[in-house]
Amino acid sequence: MMRKKGVLILNLGTPNSPSVRDVRVYLREFLNDPRVIDIGRIAQLLLVNLIIVPFRAPKSAKEYKKLFKIGNGKSPLLTYGKNLTKKLKSLAKNDFDVELAMRYGSPSMEDVLGKMRLKNYDEIYIFPLYPQYASASSGSTIEKAFKIINKWWVIPEVKVIGQFYNHSSYIECMINRAKLFNISDYDHIMFSYHGIPERHVDKVYLDGKPCADHSCEDEINAENANCYKATCYATTRLLVKELQLEQGSYSTCFQSRLGRDPWLMPYTDLTIEKLGKEGKKKILVFSPAFVADCLETTIEIGEEYLELFQENGGEVLQLVPSLNDDEDWAKGLFKIIQEKTS
């Protein structure tokens, strides 16, 4: 008898609306995650609920209003996710079922896994849609999935589909986005990844040495295979090879830092300032850590960093669209899932 399989694809999440109230609810759930802000539980609760959320929610709500306007009143991240899920279901036919949930916000993991429980799957696959593993994204998602499923009386086989930054389908789809632009028209190419605190990558290593001592910018090896910094630089190398970029014509950098603690460097905003002051006029920006356009790509890169670049002498900062719900990405994602579930 054919085994019954269910695949849960997950992304970070989105507020239900751009209202200050809904953004506040979303930020509280997100920033109170111990894997996101790992400074001790009491300190985290005080910092998030008394300082960060009250001051950040109104500002973030203004940015989400811009994003929801672009999405015709809806969250683009959620729209892309729903469309992608429909395409995957069509491709999968009877091989496996596909459901969508968000780590924070709706549709919630509790609700979607609850529905999946009623279908009595023999196997459930948890698939966080983050190309590179990070504890604050993939790790948090996987941990929560197991916490929910561990409460079930009957627990099926549960498997995780991990990082896929080096899968040929992902790289091919990223290169397809690059083909929308004439690379030679740009003075510089940037690969901007979501930032995380340096201590997050230091915790990856069990030998007591920091990430800086593990050649993460130069190679992937047995020790750093799950280091976010190492896999980001590896992603850049794979894309650079396909795009045939020359040394010095591109940068790897990290955006969206929060607070005063050191985050992964170089920082995207400071790199953009530097490029503008050096006389660069046109830069093309990839966001390889995001498979769907969201606040960090559409608004932060597409609007805020463009303004920053122009303030420092630049002219054009072009964001390369994420993979979103495009046909080639649906087929590429289906191939990844098919390989893992066969």
User: Beta-carbon neighbour count of residue 180 at 10 Å?
Assistant: 9
The band of 2, judged by pLDDT with boundaries at 50, 70 and 90, is confident
What is the residue extent of each domain of the chain? 5-164+326-341, 181-319
The band of 258, judged by pLDDT with boundaries at 50, 70 and 90, is confident
Residue 188's beta-bridge partner residues?
A: 283
What does 212-255 look like in DSSP terms, one character per residue? GGTTTTT---TTTTT-HHHHHHHHHHHHHHHHTPPTTSEEEEEE
Alpha-carbon distance of 98 to 115, in angstroms, equals: 12
The pair of three-digit structure tokens given for residue 279, joined into one six-digit string: 């006389």
User: Beta-carbon neighbour count of residue 266 at 10 Å?
Assistant: 12
Q: Do domains 5-164+326-341 and 181-319 have the same CATH topology?
A: yes
Encode pLDDT of 120-152 as tens digits.
999 999 999 999 999 999 999 999 999 999 999
Residue 216's beta-bridge partner residues?
A: none
Contact present, 211 and 229 (Cβ < 8 Å): yes
The pair of three-digit structure tokens given for residue 175, joined into one six-digit string: 């290169």
Residue 76's beta-bridge partner residues?
A: none
Q: Give ∠ CA 76-95-14 in degrees, rounded to 5.
A: 20
The pair of three-digit structure tokens given for residue 306, joined into one six-digit string: 């463009």
Model confidence, pTM: 0.97
The band of 260, judged by pLDDT with boundaries at 50, 70 and 90, is confident
Encode pLDDT of 36-57 as tens digits.
999 999 999 999 999 999 999 9
Encode pLDDT of 213-247 as tens digits.
999 999 999 999 999 999 999 999 999 999 999 99
The length of the chain in residues reads 342
User: Residue 282 pLDDT more than 80?
Assistant: yes
Amino acid, res. 153: W
CATH of 181-319 among 3.30.70.100, 1.10.340.70, 3.40.190.10, 3.40.50.1400: 3.40.50.1400
The pair of three-digit structure tokens given for residue 1, joined into one six-digit string: 């008898």
Give the per-residue pLDDT at 278.
Answer: 98
What sign does the dihedral 197-199-203-206 (CA atoms) show?
A: positive
What sign does the dihedral 251-257-259-261 (CA atoms) show?
A: negative
The band of 259, judged by pLDDT with boundaries at 50, 70 and 90, is confident
User: Residue 1 pLDDT more than 80?
Assistant: no
CATH number of the domain located at residue range(s) 5-164+326-341 in this protein: 3.40.50.1400
Encode pLDDT of 53-106 as tens digits.
999 999 999 999 999 999 999 999 999 999 999 999 999 999 999 999 999 999
Continuous segment of H or E residues that includes residue 148 = helix 140-149
Parallel, antiparallel, or unpaired: how do β-strands 97-105 and 316-319 relate? unpaired
Residue 250's beta-bridge partner residues?
A: 189
Residue 255's beta-bridge partner residues?
A: 194
Give the per-residue pLDDT at 127.
Answer: 98
Mean pLDDT over the full length of the chain: 97
Contact present, 330 and 9 (Cβ < 8 Å): no
Query: What integer is the mean pLDDT of 201-208?
Result: 96
Q: Which residues, in sequence order, are CB contacts of 15 under 8 Å at separation 6+?
A: 22, 23, 25, 26, 64, 75, 105
